[in-house]
């Protein structure tokens, strides 16, 4: 199959963007109420402009003043295929897609159909099959399948990161590249008697492995030693 993604987008209005990879782009529909996994429950899906395929993995915050400003999470993703012999491109041209979804949250057979006498308004509905559920999937599974945050929590991430950066600067943390091999693991130290001293905190010592994580671009390495 090829990719599909459902991004939850909290802009001026909260909505869900269903995107299907087709002919090298993401065909896109904005679903104001989000998908329903209840059999035959129709949801309006407004056809919007195509997006580049790279956009399928985007989640984060679109800054104020930009188009679509607000927060985005990847609410679901996976692959899809047609369960009818007609090629998906022809189904799209005809205005009726018969889809089988293989996502984390959405599965089974779906229909996406253009309303008569309309260019932009389509309907999305779950077909009655074993993947249909009598539940509110949006309420039951609200989090990103990538980072685990809700779209509301995602909106707080830039502020949270700014606070973290300010705190790290306050503590004199390195601002440039750090050579992980030059960093010493924090190990427990033997002492004769307990003491209290500014700059120290006491915690239970669990046995295990102390790890320094090093990231170079996309590559992450863990340097561990027992302690």
Residues in contact with Mn ion by the rule CB under 5 A: 9, 17
Report the C-alpha dihedral over residues 61, 62, 63, 68, rounded to 10 degrees. Answer: -140
Please state the closest distance from residue 1 (CB atom) to Mn ion, in A: 23
CB 36 within 8 A of CB 58: no
* Long-range contacts formed by 182-189: CB under 8 A, 24+ apart: 183/212, 185/210, 185/211, 185/212, 185/223, 185/225, 185/227, 186/210, 186/227, 187/225, 187/227, 188/227
3-class secondary structure, 153? helix
CB 107 within 8 A of CB 34: no
Cβ proximity to Mn ion: between 37 and 73 the closer is 73
The CA distance from 216 to 208, in Å, is 25
Cβ proximity to Mn ion: between 30 and 132 the closer is 30
DSSP 39: B
* Residue 205 falls in the annotated catalytic set: yes
Please state the closest distance from residue 112 (CB atom) to Mn ion, in A: 17
Cβ proximity to Mn ion: between 12 and 197 the closer is 12
Please state the closest distance from residue 115 (CB atom) to Mn ion, in A: 20
Cβ proximity to Mn ion: between 14 and 212 the closer is 14
> In residues, how long is the chain?
227
Please state the closest distance from residue 49 (CB atom) to Mn ion, in A: 10
Please state the closest distance from residue 55 (CB atom) to Mn ion, in A: 11
CB 145 within 8 A of CB 77: yes
**Nearest position to Mn ion, beta carbon:** 9
- How open is the CA angle 33-89-43, to the nearest 5 degrees? 15
Cβ proximity to Mn ion: between 67 and 206 the closer is 67
List the catalytic residues: 205
């Amino acid at each position: 199959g090829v990719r599909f993604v459902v991004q939850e987008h909290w802009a001026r209005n909260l909505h869900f963007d269903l995107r299907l990879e087709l002919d090298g782009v993401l065909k896109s529909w904005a679903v104001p109420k989000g998908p329903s996994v209840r059999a035959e429950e129709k949801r309006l899906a407004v056809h919007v402009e195509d997006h580049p395929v790279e956009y399928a993995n985007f989640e984060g915050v679109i800054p104020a003043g930009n188009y679509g400003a607000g927060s985005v999470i990847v609410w679901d993703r996976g692959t899809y295929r047609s369960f009818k012999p007609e090629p998906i491109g022809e189904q799209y041209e005809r205005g009726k897609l018969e889809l089988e979804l293989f996502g984390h949250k959405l599965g089974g057979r779906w229909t996406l159909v253009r309303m008569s006498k309309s260019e932009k308004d389509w309907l999305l509905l779950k077909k009655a099959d074993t993947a249909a559920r009598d539940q509110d999937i949006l309420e039951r599974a609200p989090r990103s399948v990538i980072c685990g945050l809700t779209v509301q929590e995602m909106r707080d991430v830039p502020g949270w990161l700014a606070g973290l950066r300010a705190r790290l600067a306050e503590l004199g943390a390195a601002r440039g590249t750090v050579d992980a091999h030059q960093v010493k693991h924090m190990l427990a130290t033997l002492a004769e008697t307990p003491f209290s001293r500014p700059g120290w905190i006491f915690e239970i010592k669990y046995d295990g492995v102390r790890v320094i994580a090093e990231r170079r671009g996309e590559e992450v390495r863990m340097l561990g030693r027992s302690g």
